[in-house]
Amino acid sequence: MLELKIGEFLQEYKGKMEFYLNLLNDKIKLPHENEAIGIIICKSKDRTVVEYLLKSSNLPIGITTYSTSEKLPKDYQNYYQTQKNYQKNLIIILKI
């Protein structure tokens, strides 16, 4: 389960993710499949808050941040041949 947020990480996101993961594992997951994993991607996070929130969690949840850039990284230049094409797309770089 992947959830993308446009702002700062909020504590209630963890509870919502736990709800979603429990629902997926109980109602949707097939017997031969692994348990669901949750990833929350936010613009920013407080590392201390995240560490304490996840300390007591029994479910696999990861919280990471993203950044946007006006400049196209060299690794992606082959994918966008023109500046006009690039401007139509948003490049998200995860800090994992």
Q: What is the pLDDT of residues 19-68, one digit of tens each?
A: 999 999 999 999 999 999 999 999 999 999 999 999 989 999 999 998 88
Q: Using an 8 Å Cβ cutoff, are 70 and 87 in contact?
A: no
Residue 40's nearest CA partner among 26, 68, 59 is 59
Q: pLDDT tier at 88 (50, 70, 90 boundaries)?
A: low
For 61, the 3-state DSSP assignment is strand
First to last CA, the chain: 16
Question: What are the residue boundaries of the structural domains of the chain, listed by start?
Answer: 2-95
**Whole-angstrom Cα distance, residue 14 to residue 20?**
10
The residue written with tokens 């736990």 in the block is 18
**Whole-angstrom Cα distance, residue 73 to residue 54?**
32
